Amino acid sequence: MRVHLIGTGAIGGLYGGLLARSGQCVTAQCRSDYEQVKKYGIRIESHVGLGDWTFKPDQVIYPGEMLETPPDVVLLAIKVTPQCDRVALLSPLIGPKTVIVSISNGLEVENELGAAFPDNEVLGGVAFVCATRTAPGRIIHQAYGHLTLGRYPQGPSLIGTDLVNHWLATGASVEYTFELEAVRWQKTLWNASFSALCTITQSTTATVLGETEELVRKVMGEIYETASQLGHKLPVGIIEKQINGTHRMPPYLPSMTLDRAAGNATESEVIVGNAVRAARRIGINTPHLDTLYTLLKLRN
C-alpha cells in the first residue's frame, strides 16, 4: 500500500511510522523539518509498549511537489484550523482511487473533504493518544494509544479494514467503527469542555476540575444532549467516566491551551464551534457552551 503522509507531528509521525513498520511504502511531506527527516528520519520512542524505532520514509518531499503516481492513501494528520486549506494541500496528490484518511480532533471535519473530493473514499480517524513531538524528527509516545477509524459519513470500508489490520500487526490498539461521528462526539464531550475551560483561563484540567466540576458537568451535559438528539447514543455514564478519568490524570494542559499560549492557530472552531453550530441547527439550548465558545473567539 502506498501511503502519502501529510503532517509529521506527533500523530502523523506515530501512525505513519507504524504503517511503515508494517511494511507499507510511506512518503512523508514535510515543511520545517524537511532536512532533519530526509537525513535522519523520525525517531519514535513509545513508553507504552510500541517500542523505539526510527521511521525512515521511503521518500521525503516538500508541500506542492507532485507525485509520479497518486498514492493509495493520503494520511492527513494535521490540525484542522481555518488558517490551513486542507483541500489545497490534497488537490495535487489525489488520484481517482486515492482514499483520504484524516486523523484529527473535532466534529464534521470530513464534510469539507467529502464535498471537495466527492468521488474519493474518505475515512476519519479519532486518536486517543498522548504523544508529543519534542523536537524536529523526534516523537515521544507517553500514554494511551487508541485509534478509531471509520468511513465518512459511515459504513464499511475495504481499505479501512486493511489499514486497521496493518496497524494491529504492529501492536497498536486500533479499531474500526461503523459510526464515525458518534466517536467524534464522544471525544468532543471531553475536548470541547476541558479545552475551552482550560484555554480561556490558561489553567490545567486539574485546576478546572478542582474548582468547578459543576460547570464541567453542565457543559458536558449540553454536549451529551446535542449528540443524543442527533442520534449518537453515547454510552450511559460517559460523563461520570470522563470526569473520574480526568480526576485520575496528572494536571494536563490540552493542546488548544498550549496552541493559544504559543500564539498558534487552534482547533476551537471544529471542536467547540461545530458543537455549538450542531446544537443550534437542531434547536438544543446550550448556554454554557455558547458562552465558552464566545469567550474563546473573543480571545483569538
Q: Min. distance of Cβ 238 from its own copies in angstroms? A: 22
Q: Min. distance of Cβ 59 from its own copies in angstroms? A: 45
Could you tell me if 29 and 62 are in contact, meaning their C-beta atoms sit under 8 angstroms apart? yes
Rg (CA), the chain: 19
Instruction: State which residue, 184 or 288, has the beta carbon closest to its own copies.
Output: 288
Count Cβ neighbours within 10 Å for each residue of 41-76 and write b for 16 or more, e otherwise. bbbbebeeebeebebbbeebbeeeeebeebbbbbbb
Instruction: State which residue, 163 or 296, has the beta carbon closest to its own copies.
Output: 296
Q: Min. distance of Cβ 218 from its own copies in angstroms? A: 8
Distance CA 70, CA 73 (A): 9
Could you tell me if 150 and 176 are in contact, meaning their C-beta atoms sit under 8 angstroms apart? yes
Q: Min. distance of Cβ 113 from its own copies in angstroms? A: 30
Could you identify the residue written with the cell 486517543? 128
Instruction: State which residue, 66 or 298, has the beta carbon closest to its own copies.
Output: 298
Instruction: State which residue, 197 or 271, has the beta carbon closest to its own copies.
Output: 197
Q: Min. distance of Cβ 191 from its own copies in angstroms? A: 18
Instruction: State which residue, 133 or 288, has the beta carbon closest to its own copies.
Output: 288
User: In sequence order, which residues have a C-beta less than 8 Å from that of residue 140 and are 6 or more positions away?
Assistant: 45, 47, 131, 132, 134
Residues that bind its own copies (CB under 8 A): 197, 200-201, 203, 207-208, 211-212, 214-215, 218, 287-288, 290-292, 294-295, 297-299
Distance CA 16, CA 3 (A): 8
User: In sequence order, which residues have a C-beta less than 8 Å from that of residue 277 and are 6 or more positions away?
Assistant: none
Q: Distance between alpha carbon 205 and the CA centroid of its chain, in Å?
A: 19
Instruction: State which residue, 225 or 290, has the beta carbon closest to its own copies.
Output: 290
Q: Min. distance of Cβ 212 from its own copies in angstroms? A: 5
Closest to 133 measured CA to CA, from 257, 252, 263, 17: 17
